[in-house]
A = this chain, B = another copy of it.
Amino acid sequence: MTTRAASWQPLSPGERSVAIEVLVHGPLSRTDIARRLDLSAGSLTRLTKPLIESGLLVEVPDGGGPAEVRQGRPSQPLDVVAESRTFLGFKVTEDMVYGVVTTLRSEIVARLDRPLTTHDPAEVADLLAGMTGELTARFPTLTGIGIGVGGLVRDRAVVGESAFLHWNDVPLAELVEERTGLPVVVENDVAAFVEAETWFGAGRGLDRFVVLTIGAGVGYGLVLGGRRVPYAEEDRGFGRHWILNPNGPLTPTGERGSAVSLLTIPSIRYQVQAATGQDLSYEEILAGAAAGEPMSARVIGEAARALGVLVAQIANFVLPQKILLAGEGVGLMDVAEAMVEDTLRAHRHPLAAPLDVETKVSDFHDWARGAAVLAIQVLVLGVAEV
């Protein structure tokens, strides 16, 4: 563990759960919190007092809205001072570093991107420290840094293996801490994104929740009991062996008819190019499919059916309360949502609970935001590693 001590004094388990509840579920009165956490009113007074004294929580005037008129003493909502601290999240790709500054509640307040021209660990750390420096000037409340990297990350500090950076056991957290003096948390990018959605996004408050990302590759995140489940093949080409249609297309990466071959942006572009000779962008292909261009429509239709099968399989086995489809490749849903849903319905039991599927087109800044959330979890609240 390279990351340094928490920025706030260590919280007791009770205090931590109260802090998380307020952070994640917005302003809440003590009574609300007591009900949610199944605690007595007296305990809430006790637990909130130190949190208010430390400045993490404040009493806020009743949320402006059309205050529903009720009898009795009005409740006194508590909230985190979202702007009191800011966090920096980085997403490192092969040729770019994307950075965001977020509040305590993970709202993005600034963005900063830089090309990445070298993969030398020290120089990458230099670049990240430089970007941090620029932002410190504008955001003096910067409290911690989260870094998301595609690849295997150990102890939230060391990049054990990253194919595109050609790194092995690079202590990235340490390198950046040395240069910035700020505590740093490093995590696999998909894992960070999933954590962010679990805490602040689509998976808020859910017990069983699945994140499926489609973009350059396929990413999968499983949240059970409110906690992400780590797995061995994480970010090492998940979905490559994942046959959705045995008669599907053969592409340079992924087995025939696999999720990678059918759904990822490179594979879709490859299929269209192989058939038509034209090197079209993903957006052009989607537009073509929408306009009825036969080849694009065929490829996109096949992808939509595959996605329906995939979501159905997840729904049938994991029984999640919600599935989030994210990434750059879910633009598919705008064009072919009906086809996805038809396929999904055909592959599920009619009596099965209706499935909540949320689609969210996300870009690299959303991935960077995920990394910032990791920093919030670890540095502010002292949430331990899974």
Contact = CB atoms under 8 A, between A and B. Distances in A.
Interface string A229-249: 101110011101111011100
B231 A352 contact: yes
Contact of A353 (B231, B237, B317, B348): B231
B314 A233 contact: no
Interface in A302-360: 309, 313-314, 316-319, 346-353
B231 A347 contact: no
A317 B314 contact: yes
B225 A225 contact: yes
Contact of A349 (B237, B246, B247): B237
A236 B349 contact: yes
25 contacts: A208-B224, A208-B229, A210-B317, A220-B317, A222-B317, A224-B225, A225-B225, A229-B319, A231-B319, A231-B353, A232-B351, A233-B353, A236-B349, A237-B349, A238-B349, A240-B349, A241-B348, A241-B349, A243-B347, A245-B246, A246-B246, A246-B247, A255-B346, A313-B317, A318-B318
Interface of A: 208, 210, 220, 222, 224-225, 229, 231-233, 236-238, 240-243, 245-247, 255, 309, 313-314, 316-319, 346-353
Contact of A352 (B224, B233, B309, B317): B233
7 nearest CB pairs, A to B: A233-B349, A232-B353, A233-B352, A233-B351, A225-B225, A224-B224, A231-B319
Contacts of A233: 349, 351-353
Contacts of A225: 224-225
Q: Which of A229, A314, A316, A348 has the most CB of B within 10 A?
A: A316
A118 B319 CA distance: 36
The dominant DSSP class at the A interface is loop
A265 to B, nearest CB: 20
A347 B317 contact: no
A316 B242 contact: yes
A346 B241 contact: yes
A58 to B, nearest CB: 35
B208 A242 contact: no
A208 to B, nearest CB: 7
A116 B241 CA distance: 48
Nearest to A232: B353
Contacts of A318: 222, 317-318
A135 B222 CA distance: 47
A247 B309 CA distance: 15
A315 B351 CA distance: 24
Given A229-B319, A236-B351, A241-B346, 9 more contacts: A222-B317, A231-B319, A231-B352, A233-B349, A243-B346, A246-B246, A314-B317, A317-B317, A318-B318
